[in-house]
Amino acid sequence: MSHATRPDPAELAKLPVEGPSFDELRAKLDPVVARYPARAGAMLPVLWVVQRARGGWLHPQSIREVADYLHVPQAHVEGVITFYTMFKDHPVGREVVMVCKTLSCRLRGAQDVIDALEDRYGIEMGGTTADRRFTIETGECLGLCDMAPCMLVGKDRFGDLTPESAVKHLEERR
Amino acid sequence: MPAVEVSRLLKGAPPVGKRQTLDEYRAAGGYEALRKGLGMTPEQITQAVIDSGVRGRGGAGFPAGRKWTFVPKNTGKPVYLAVNGDESEPGCFKDRQIMERVPHLLIEGAILACRAIGAQTAYIYVRGEYPSCIGNLEAAVEEARAAGILGSDVLGSGWRCDVWVHSGAGAYICGEETGMLSSIEGGRGYPRIKPPFPAVEGLWRSPTIINNVETIANVTLIVRDGADAWKSAGDADTPGTRLVGISGHVVRPCHVEIDPAKTTLRELIYDHAGGIWKGRKLKAVIPGGSSVPVLPATQIDVPFTYGAVKAAGSLAGAAGVIVMDDTTCMVDALLNLMEFYHHESCGQCTPCREGTGWLEKLVRRIWSGGGKPEDIALLDRVADTVGGAGAGKTICFLADSAVMPTKSFLKHFRADFERAVAEGGSPVWKARASRRKPAAHAGAR
Ligand SMILES: Cc1cc2nc3c(=O)[nH]c(=O)nc-3n(C[C@H](O)[C@H](O)[C@H](O)COP(=O)(O)O)c2cc1C
Ligand code: SF4
Ligand code: FES
C-alpha cells in the first residue's frame, strides 16, 4: 500500500480546518460508535464522516481529534489512514476521480482514457487539476467490469469510456 | 444449447442502478423466510443449510453449513456474523448486483444466519468503491429497522438482531476474511495467522462466521424453499445457481445467473456475452477472477461447476470470467495483474511483500524490452519461491493468488514471453514507447 508523496505535516497543520467543529460532528458519530462493542471498531466509519464533512481529507487536527474520540494513539489513526487508499492525509480536489486501470478495463482501452485525462489536465495520475476541482487517480478494479473502461467520480460511475467521453464527463461536472 | 438464464437471486430485481424497496420486497414474499426461520430452531436452520450443500461463493467454495457448525457452544462470548461484500477481485461484480438491487434479500439472509449461529450482530463489509451498494444497503437497513424487522424485537419474536453496514476504504486485502476482521475492528486490514480460525476466535476474539454476500443471500432462499427445492438447480458438486460476471474482449460484457451444471464456459462467453468482440478469436480466459489460473481457448467446453472447471485446469472461484482475444499480449496482461498484487500486498510476509515486487519487476523487464532469454525460467522459479496453491509460506493466500496466474500464463502462453524477449518488448510497450514517454504507463506507480 503506497501513497503519493505526502506533503510536510508541519505545513499541512498550518492549513485551516474546513467544515464543522468536532463537537458538532459528535451527534453524528456517537450512534456509529454504539454499533461496535469496542470504540476503536468505529474507526473507518468515523474517518469517513470526518473526511466527508471536512473538505475531503483528514487534517492533522482531525487525526488528533479522532484519536482522542476513539481513545487510541494518534499513530494508530495515522497507520489506518495510510493503509487505505480512499483516506487522504493531504488536500485533494473537490471530487476524487478513480479511473480503473485493472485488466478488464485495460483490455478495453483504459490506458487511452488515462492518457487523455493526463494530457487534458496536464497532471499525472494522482494529481489535482489546477482549479482544484478534481483529483484524478487510478483505481484497481472498481467492480464495474461490465462497463469497462470505467471511472468513479464521487458517487457517480461512468462506463464504456473513450478518451473523448471521459474528458467530456468531467468537463460537464465543472 | 441456447443461453438459459435462471432467475432466483435476482428474481424481481429492478434494473441496475435501482433498489428494491421494502414494500416491493414484501409484495414479492420477502421476509416470509424470516418468519418461517423464527419458528425453527437454530439447529434446524443450520441443518437446512447443510442439506442444501451450498458452497461459499467468495471463491474457495467451502460448504457454508459445515462452517457454521465450527462455532463453539456456550463460550459465554457473543457470536458475530461478518458478511463479505468487499468484492475487490479483478473481474468480479456479482455481489454488487445483490447489494445494490436486492439489499433486503441479503439482510434477510443475514438475520437468518445470525439466528442459526447464535449471533445478534452482523456487519456487512462493503468496499468503499461501491457507494451505490453502501447507500442502498443503508437505506434498506433503515427500512427494516423502522418496520421492526431489525432491532430489539425481530418481527415480534422478542429476539434482538442488528445488522450494520461497514464501509471499507480501498484495500483489496480486506476481502481476505481475517483482513476483514482487522478492518472491522478499526485497524489496518492485516490478515491473521490461522488457527485460531475465525469461527472460534474472530471479531474481538469472539466466534465469528464470515460468508460471502451471495452465500448469505442464498440462505434466504434455502430457508424459504427448503433444501431440496433449492438444490434443483446445479448438481451435487455445485448446488444452486451461480451469479457470473463476464468481461474483457466480449461483445456484451454482462452478469448472468445460471444453472452451473447446465451452462458451459463456452456458453457464458459466446451466448450470454455475445462472443468475442470485433469478429476476433478467443485466446484465453480467466474463469474465476484474476487469482485463478488462465485457460487456453481449447479448455472452455466445461460446465461452470467447481469440479468441472478445476478438472479443466483452473478454478470457478468468484465467477469473474475475463476474456482475452487473439490480439492480446499475455505479457501485458500478466504485468497488469502483477502490478495489482504487488500494490495490494499488505506487507506483513516477506515472500509476499518482496515476491510480488520481484514478479512485477521481472514481467515489466520482459514487457519493456529488457528481458533476457533466461528471464522466463527465472520468472517461473521466482513464482515457485513466492508460493503456489497450498504452499503455505505466507499468512494469507494473496501471495499464492499472484503465483497462480504467473505459472499458468507461462505454461499456456510461453510463446508470448519468448517473443517479447526476442523482439525487444511487448507489442503494447512498443506501440506506447513510440507515442509517449514510457514512464507514463499507469503501472509506473
Ligand atoms: C486475497 C484474498 C481476497 C479475498 N477477497 C474476497 C472478497 O472480496 N469477497 C469474498 O467474499 N471473499 C474474498 N476472499 C475469500 C474470503 O477470505 C473468505 O473465504 C470468504 O469470504 C468466505 O465466504 P464464503 O465461504 O461464503 O465464500 C478473499 C480471499 C483472499 C485470500
Ligand atoms: S500473504 Fe501478502 S497480503 Fe497476505 S498477509 Fe502476507 S503480506 Fe499480507
Ligand atoms: S477491471 Fe475495471 S472495473 Fe473491473
Is B278:B262 a contact under the CB 8 Å cutoff?
no
CA–CA dist B102, B85 (Å, integer)? 14
- Which residue pairs from A123-130 have beta carbons closer than 8 angstroms and sit at least 24 positions apart in sequence? A124/B440, A124/B445, A125/A99, A125/B442, A125/B445, A126/A4, A126/B445, A128/A91, A128/A92, A128/A93, A129/A93
Q: How far is CA B269 from CA B10, B82, B330, in A?
A: 20, 33, 19
- Looking at the structure, tell me whether residues A125 and A168 fall in a common domain: yes
A160 within domain boundaries? yes
Q: Are residues A102 and A139 in the same domain?
A: yes
Question: Do A74 and A16 reside in the same domain of the chain?
Answer: yes
Give the β-pairing of A156-158 and B162-167.
unpaired
CA distance B359 to B363: 6
Indicate if A64 and A117 belong to the same structural domain: no
Point out the domain boundary residue: A52, A83, A114.
A83
Instruction: Please spell the DSSP secondary structure of A42-74, one letter per residue.
Output: GHHHHHHHHHHHTTTS--HHHHHHHHHHHT--H
**What SS3 state is found at B191?**
coil
Q: Quick one: B41 exposed, middle or buried, by C-beta within 10 A (0-12, 13-18, 19+)?
A: exposed
B287-307 tens-digit pLDDT: 999 999 999 999 999 999 999
Is residue A104 within 8 A of residue A148, CB to CB? The reply is yes
Q: Does residue A107's CB lie within 6 angstroms of at least one atom of ligand 3?
A: no
Q: Tell me whether residue A134 is in a domain.
A: yes
For residue A157, tell me if it sits in a domain: yes
A54-73 pLDDT per residue, tens: 999 999 999 999 999 999 99
The residue from A32, A57, A83 where one domain ends is A83
Which cell is B350 given?
516477506
Q: Give the closest of B129, B255, B441 to A98, CB-based.
A: B129
3 state SS of A119: helix
Q: What is the pLDDT of residue A171?
A: 97
Task: Pick the atom of ligand 1 nearest to B397's CA.
Answer: 31
Flag whether residue A107 sits within 8 Å of chain B, measured between CB atoms.
yes
Over pLDDT 90: what percentage of chain B? Answer: 94
Query: What does the alpha-carbon distance between residue B91 and residue B341 come to, in Å, rounded to a whole number?
Result: 14
In Å, how far is A110's CA from the nearest CA of chain B?
A: 9
Closest ligand 2 atom, residue B344 Cα: 3
Can you tell me the mean pLDDT for B276-293? 98
B55 neighbors B306 (Cβ within 8 angstroms): yes
Residue B2 above 90 pLDDT? no
Q: Which residues contact B343 (CB under 8 A, 6 or more apart)?
A: A1, A2, A140
The answer to whether residue A129 sits within a structural domain is yes
pLDDT tens per residue across all 174 residues of chain A: 444 566 788 899 999 999 999 999 999 999 999 999 999 999 999 999 999 999 999 999 999 999 999 999 999 999 999 999 999 999 999 999 999 999 999 999 999 999 999 999 999 999 999 999 999 999 999 999 999 999 999 999 999 999 999 999 999 998
Residue with cell 473507518: A44
| C-alpha–C-alpha distance, residues A13 and A59, integer Å | 7
% of chain A exceeding 70 in pLDDT? 97
For residues B174 and B127, the answer to whether their CB atoms sit within 8 Å is yes
B319: its cell numbers = 465467477
Looking at the fold, whether A129 and A101 belong to one and the same domain comes out as yes
A141 and A116 share one domain:
yes
Chain B environment of A152 (Cβ under 8 Å): 129, 131
* Best probe residue, ligand 3, of A97, A150, A157 (max atoms within 8 Å of C-beta): A150
**Is position A90 within any domain?**
no
Looking at residue B433, its pLDDT comes to 86
* Residue pair B193/B200 in contact by the 8 Å Cβ criterion: no
Mean pLDDT of B40-69: 98
Residue A61 sits in a domain of what CATH number?
Answer: 1.10.10
Residue A151 in contact with ligand 3 by CB distance below 6 A? no
pLDDT of amino acid A8: 85
A64 and A132 part of one domain: no
Residues A59, A111 within the same domain: no
Which alpha helices (DSSP H) does B278-373 contain, by range?
Answer: 306-311, 330-344, 350-367
Give residue-wise pLDDT tens across range B196-214. 999 999 999 999 999 999 9
Q: How many CA atoms lie within 13 A of B329 on its CB side?
A: 23
Tell the residue number behind the cell numbers 477481485, with chain if given: B89
Decide: residue B17, CB within 10 A, 0-12 exposed, 13-18 middle, 19+ buried. Answer: exposed
CATH number at residue A122: 3.40.30.10
A47, part of any domain = yes
- Surface of A (108-167) touching B: CB under 8 A: 108, 110-111, 114-115, 118, 124-126, 138-148, 152, 154-155, 157
Q: Are residue A33 and residue A101 in the same domain, yes or no?
A: no
A68 within some domain: yes
| Cα(A80)–Cα(A86) distance, integer angstroms | 11
What is the domain range of residue A138?
95-173
Residue A89 in domain: no
Cβ contacts below 8 Å, chain A against chain B, sum to 168
Tell me: pLDDT of B148 over 70: yes
**Chain A contact present for B439, CB below 8 A:** no
Q: In chain B, whose CA is at the least distance from the CA of A81?
A: B188
Q: Does A127 share its domain with A166?
A: yes
- Report the number of distinct structural domains present in chain A: 2
Residues 6+ apart with CB under 8 A from B323: B246, B247, B248, B249, B250, B269, B273, B276, B282, B284, B285
Question: Among the three residues A24, A58, A83, which one is the final residue of a domain in this structure?
Answer: A83
- Ligand 1 neighbour B46 (Cβ under 6 A): no
Residue-level pLDDT at B5: 86
Q: Rounded to 5 degrees, what angle do the CA atoms A12, A14, A18 make?
A: 80
With b meaning 16 or more CB within 10 Å and e meaning fewer, what string describes B278-292?
eeeebbbbbbbbbbb
**Whether residue A105 sits in one domain with residue A142:** yes
C-alpha cell at A60: 492533522
**pLDDT surpassing 90 at residue B444:** no
CA B236, B238, B244: angle at the middle one, nearest 5?
155
Average pLDDT value for chain B: 96
Residues A40 and A62 in one domain: yes
CA distances from B320 to B90, B304, B427 (A): 8, 11, 27
If one residue of B49, B54, B177 were mutated to test the ligand 1 pocket, choosing by the most ligand atoms within 8 A of its CB, it would be B177
